[in-house]
Amino acid sequence: MIIRRGPTRYTSVIGWDRKSDKFQVGQWLYGRIYERRSDLSPDGKHMIYFAMNGRWSSSVKGSWTAISRAPYLKAVSIFAKGDCWHGGGLFRSPSEYWLNDGYGHELQVEDHRLKRTLEYPWHEHYGGECLGVYYVRLQRDGWKMLYVAPDGAGGHVTRFEKRINGHWVLRKNAHASAHHPVGRGVYYDTHELFNTRTEETVIKKAWEWAEMDGDRLLWAAEGRIHSGRVNTIGLKDEKMLHDLNPMQPEKLMAPY
């Protein structure tokens, strides 16, 4: 599942079948989806997301947490919020989820086939907003947190690593800073490849997201999705899988 911001204030959700590398546009939202507070269920059937469109007098109070059938946004469960504190959540199993409740949601519609965990189910805690969901999700998905350090600009960076093979690791540097590059938000990631034997570091400035998919490496850069493989020497067999840049908002109906 891909959450794509733009053009302008639009956000789209795209389904991604990684076995065939086929992509399917789900639906568009005129507003923001907080990708760091969102999650996909282990079976890929549902997504939980936190969204905001600023229509504070609407039934969902301008911001809300919803559970939908991926890759669509039409809610099967919806919790009105009314502000941007906390929100979103994580899946613990295909049918069990944790809601990042914090200051409180107002339940409006609930799919009773999905079970909500009321108690906080993890040892780690990183606050109630983006990092409180995102950092837990990274570690759940196999990323190892190494350290937190000042970034020299009044913020901080948290380094995560994931093993690629016997020579290389993928590093994800999660930044939290008000002094961020143009086109990035307060929270953004940078990536690099590190050779554990030669201590060579290959910085990938354009990569906004990166993850391992079995023995292949996936990443997003400049609105495009790429894949490649890493051998003892470095990255090879680079391939662009999909270009998201031509996408334009359209009205799409969920098939449920």
10-17, strands of its sheet edge to edge: 2-5, 10-17, 22-30
pLDDT for position 182:
79
> 103: pLDDT confidence band, cut at 50, 70 and 90?
confident
CA distance 215 to 207: 19
| Of 17-31, 45-59, 62-76, 173-187, minimum mean pLDDT range | 173-187
pLDDT for position 122:
81
pLDDT over 70 percentage in the chain? 100
pLDDT in tens, 36-77: 999 999 999 999 999 999 999 999 999 999 999 999 999 999
pLDDT beyond 80 at 183: no
pLDDT for position 177:
87
pLDDT over 90 percentage in the chain? 87
CA distance 70 to 175: 28
pLDDT for position 154:
81
β strands within 53-138, DSSP E: 63-69, 75-80, 89-93, 96-99, 106-109, 115-117
* Whole-number average pLDDT of the chain: 95
171 strand-pairing partners: 161, 192
The sign one gets for the Cα dihedral 100, 104, 107, 112 is positive
- Helix ranges restricted to H, the chain: 130-140
Radius of gyration of the chain (CA): 18
Q: Where are the domains of the chain?
A: 1-130, 142-246
Residue with tokens 């060579």: 200
Residue with tokens 């930044």: 175
In degrees and rounded to multiples of 5, residue 137 shows phi and psi of -65, -45
pLDDT beyond 80 at 112: yes
> 86: pLDDT confidence band, cut at 50, 70 and 90?
very high
> 196: pLDDT confidence band, cut at 50, 70 and 90?
very high
